[in-house]
Structure 1
Amino acid sequence: MSDPVDTTQVSDLPLEDLVACHECDLLMRRPELAHGEKALCPRCGYEMYAHRYNVVERSLALVIAALLLYVPANFLPIMQLNLLGQSSEDTVWSGVVALFNTGMQGVAAVVFLCSMGIPLLKLLCQLAVLLSIRWNIGRSYGLLLYRIYHHLRDWGMLEVYLMGVLVAIVKLADMAALSVGLGLACFVSLLMVQVLLEVVMSPHQIWQALSGEDEHAGD
């Protein structure tokens, strides 16, 4: 169910009852939603809030799945290249090491952070936040970690790395014998799980659960 957010008499409401649209900055009354409902901005149609079922449990399952995929996605061969009788198997980690060994330490550091370091840190932050809600412990630390996670969101660039891999495959396909490895399937799966996690892990429900406003975020 989708309903526009009420914008009437916002000037008379206290600040804690107001919310601004993330897209068009329209100031409006904070909506009260039942399970399964979502609220849309009446000006631009942006989805303001969505009250989803079992947010914590579903998000935990996706985070654990992503962590299980992390190691094979980064350390199993993405592709195998055969050229002039020589073959090589390339992984995400071997690409970072190759850049470092060829004197491009700065580029290697950026690739490592954006494709391996920050995505792992994001997943660990999400796991700690969800566990703090699920077990009702350390919610003040959960608030801090969730803020850190939001600052890291724009720095995890798995989709950019995947695009680079696909471009390399297309360009090398006519020059050498090329075969796709299991690592690529795991990498794509990891990316898809993280995209789904962004959808399922409703931010406003997580913030409310961490601040103690919503004790039923897992329902």
Structure 2
Amino acid sequence: MLYDQPLLACHECDTLVNRVALKSGQKLVCPRCNATLQKAGKDTTAKGLALSLTALILMPPAYLLPILTFNMLGSNTVDTVAKGVGHLFEEGFWFMGLLVLLCSMVAPVAQAGLILLISLLVRMQRYNGLLINLLKAQRKIKKWGMLEVYLLGILVAYVKLIEDGEVYFGVGLFCFCSVLLATTLNAVLFDASVIWERIGQQRQRVAA
């Protein structure tokens, strides 16, 4: 069974692909760039809205509150994510500092913010050019979020520091782990292909 408009333009490379009716679990993939064009799935914007809002609320304490406190000979050293990035700049490691800033702070915040805006526009049924641009930006920025790598660095630092003194986990670490969980679930559950399908259907109705 074909749709009234048999051709679908890929949102990544503009290749024209025949539309087909999909069964549960099936998806239509662009033969040129392998982008997902259609997918038989459910609306995931409600989950995207909840997870993005959760991540954005937890990000300030995750970045600003202590993640580790190191005690040696009665002297305490408190580390936060923001302070760790600042130390890299102070030591002259500008490229590394910018990379850590991008992957651990800027990209995750942008990713959560974009999914939040996308979900709100879909809930309001605003299938316009702004929504298309947000979807494209979200697809590009999600590759840069690497919170799990930063968490691995925290664990390595804990193992090394515990040999020289006492190390305590701070509230910021638990917030950081919660942000990582929320963003990971968002990346797995949020399905943009369903939104692209709705945009295509909306354009067909307008053209008709």
TM-score, with structure 1 as normaliser: 0.75
Within 5 Å, give how 1:169-188 maps onto structure 2.
169-188=158-177
* Residue segments in structure 2 that go unaligned for 5+ positions in a row: 1-5, 11-16, 29-35, 204-208
Residue 129 of structure 1: CA displacement?
A: 1.1
- Which among 8, 19, 26 is matched to residue 16 of structure 1? 8
Q: Which residue of 2 aligns with 1:49?
A: 39
2:77 alignment partner, SS class: strand
Residue 30 of structure 1: CA displacement?
A: 4.0
1:17–1:29 CA contact under 8 A, matched in 2: no
Q: Which residue of 2 aligns with 1:39?
A: 26
Q: Which residue of 2 aligns with 1:192?
A: 181
Structure 2 distance, partners of 1:89, 1:72, is: 14
Q: Which residue of 2 aligns with 1:78?
A: 67
Amino acid in the other structure paired with 1:16 = L
Amino acid in the other structure paired with 2:136 = R
- Which among 99, 102, 108 is matched to residue 113 of structure 1? 102
Residue 171 of structure 1: CA displacement?
A: 1.5
Residue 17 of structure 1: CA displacement?
A: 9.7
Which one has more relative contact order, counting CA pairs under 8 Å at least 6 apart? 2
Amino acid in the other structure paired with 1:38 = G
Percent of residue pairs bearing the same amino acid type: 34
Please list the CA deviations of residues 102-160 of structure 1 after superposition, one character each: whole Å capped at 9, or x if unmatched.
22222211111111011111111111111111112363111111111111111111111
Q: Which residue of 1 aligns with 2:196?
A: 207
Please list the CA deviations of residues 52-78 of structure 1 after superposition, one character each: whole Å capped at 9, or x if unmatched.
3x5222211111111111111111111
Structure 1 distance, partners of 2:18, 2:159, is: 49
Aligned residues: 186
Structure 2 distance, partners of 1:96, 1:117, is: 12
RMSD over aligned CA atoms reads 2.8
1:63–1:126 CA contact under 8 A, matched in 2: yes
1:154 aligns with 2:146: no
Structure 2 distance, partners of 1:73, 1:186, is: 5
2:67–2:169 CA contact under 8 A, matched in 1: yes
1:62 aligns with 2:51: yes
TM-score, with structure 2 as normaliser: 0.79
* Residue segments in structure 1 that go unaligned for 5+ positions in a row: 1-13, 19-26, 42-46, 215-219
Amino acid in the other structure paired with 2:39 = Y
1:130 aligns with 2:91: no
Structure 2 distance, partners of 1:40, 1:55, is: 16
